[in-house]
Amino acid sequence: MTEVKREVFGHMPTEEGGGVVEKFVLKSDSVKVEILSLGCIIAALETKGRDGKFSDVVLGFDTLEGYTRKHPFFGAVVGRVANRIAKGRFTVNGKEYQLFLNNGPNSLHGGARGFDKVLWSPQVLPNGICFFRLSPDGEEGYPGDLKVWVTYTLSGRELAINYRAQTSKTTPISLTNHAYFNLAGQGSQDIYDHEISVEADSYLPVDDTKIPTGEVVGVQGTSFDLRQPVELGKHLQKFHLDGFDHNFCLQQVQARRLVARACHPPTGRAMEVHTTQPGIQFYTGNNLDGSLKGKGGVTYPKHSAFCLETQNWPDAVNKPHFPNVLLQPGEEYNHTTWLVFNAA
């Protein structure tokens, strides 16, 4: 049985439009997750280690103030389009659209005020919570009225996140959750002792602004071959890498499959990622710099967390040979990602 509780987390500042931010607590025997109505943010996720003790494994803040200030999308649902769009520009049905540039020369995670910075309307379910919002035509430069539903359900050790959307005009859409994980417990200094594997035969090389070059390159014999588990710290050292921030290309099937696994041998905590999405961005918190004070007053230095963001391939709207990212009127966008937590 999953228990669902709701409480007030805080009030949005007047200049942000005001409004009550609620926190929803989903609890099973083995996982407890706290989700905010602001940005559908996963603010905490507690899971058991080998010793049976719970630890919070996602980065975030104790108060609403942390989330209303600038932060690197901790725990949030990002959209309309996750990841980067080159020069914030794309053409649909012969019309060119220009988005806000918030990542150097590119648009990232929906723009200046994406899905992560707005209040969603919640509906409590027996085993979870469904958030809804209407993203109006022209919001952040995107075409069409877009209705979006994000549903979190907890069943035992498994947290499912389902994303659905319908549009009035053809629009690009790619939704993901941007939780930052450290299976040793949030506030642990690094993720070097984590073992990571990603079920991908190819990845997307990027230019110096992190936009895919358009090539799809096999991982065989490269530092991107994560098909067998690697210990992260040793792997980064061996290949002289600053970290990962790359899309791995998954099998192109619309069915649930296991795509990645992270494991922390010292505590026994493990997390499997299953999805219907065509890609997964593996990011090792390269831009964290210790400047943010997180939960319990801890700081989050570089490489103190990892993200496994299931999504469409970055800049797919400008790369016709990438998986289709356009949603047409009359169709429904529908993807699910499952996070399964174990203790070995």
Burial code of 185-202, b = ≥16 C-beta within 10 A, e = fewer?
bbbbebbebbbbbbbbee
How far apart, in whole angstroms, are the C-alpha atoms of residue 73 and residue 59? 10
Residue pLDDT, tens place only, 110-146: 999 999 999 999 999 999 999 999 999 999 999 999 9
What's the CATH code, domain 3-343?
2.70.98.10
- Assign 3-state DSSP to the chain and report helix, strand, coil percentages, each to 5: 10, 45, 50
Tokens of 217: 């390159």
SS (H, E, C) 95-152: EEEECCCCECCEEECCCCCCHHHCECEEEEECCEEEEEEEECCCHHHCCCCEEEEEEE
pLDDT at 254: 84
How far apart, in whole angstroms, are the C-alpha atoms of residue 61 and residue 293? 8
Residue pLDDT, tens place only, 199-257: 999 999 999 999 999 999 999 999 999 999 999 999 999 999 999 999 999 998 889 99
Beta-bridged to residue 122, according to DSSP, are 131
Asked if 178 is an active-site residue, the reply is: yes
Q: Please give the share of the chain, as a percent, with pLDDT higher than 90.
A: 97
DSSP H or E run through 65: helix 64-68
pLDDT at 160: 98
Q: Are 249 and 204 in contact (CB under 8 A)?
A: yes
Distances (CA, A) of 184 to 67, 180, 187, 271, 343: 23, 12, 9, 12, 12
**Once rounded to an integer, what is the mean pLDDT over residues 61-87?**
97
Residue pLDDT, tens place only, 276-310: 999 999 999 999 999 999 999 999 999 999 999 99
Tokens of 166: 């319908």
Residue pLDDT, tens place only, 141-194: 999 999 999 999 999 999 999 999 999 999 999 999 999 999 999 999 999 999
pLDDT at 344: 82
Q: Please give the share of the chain, as a percent, with pLDDT higher than 70.
A: 100
Asked if 303 is an active-site residue, the reply is: no
SS (H, E, C) 162-225: EEEEEECCCEECECEECCCECCCCCCCCCCCCCEEEECCCEECCECCCCCECCCCEECCCCCCC
Alpha-helix residue ranges (DSSP H) falling in 180-334: 232-238
* Residue of 178, 246, 303, 335 with catalytic role: 178
Report CA dihedral (199, 206, 99, 16) to the nearest 10 degrees. Answer: 60
Show me where the domains of the chain are located. 3-343
Q: Which residues are annotated as a binding site for beta-D-galactose?
A: 83-84, 178-180, 245
Residue pLDDT, tens place only, 8-49: 999 999 988 899 999 999 999 999 999 999 999 999 999 999
* Residue of 139, 140, 195, 309 with catalytic role: 309
- What does pLDDT average to over the chain? 97
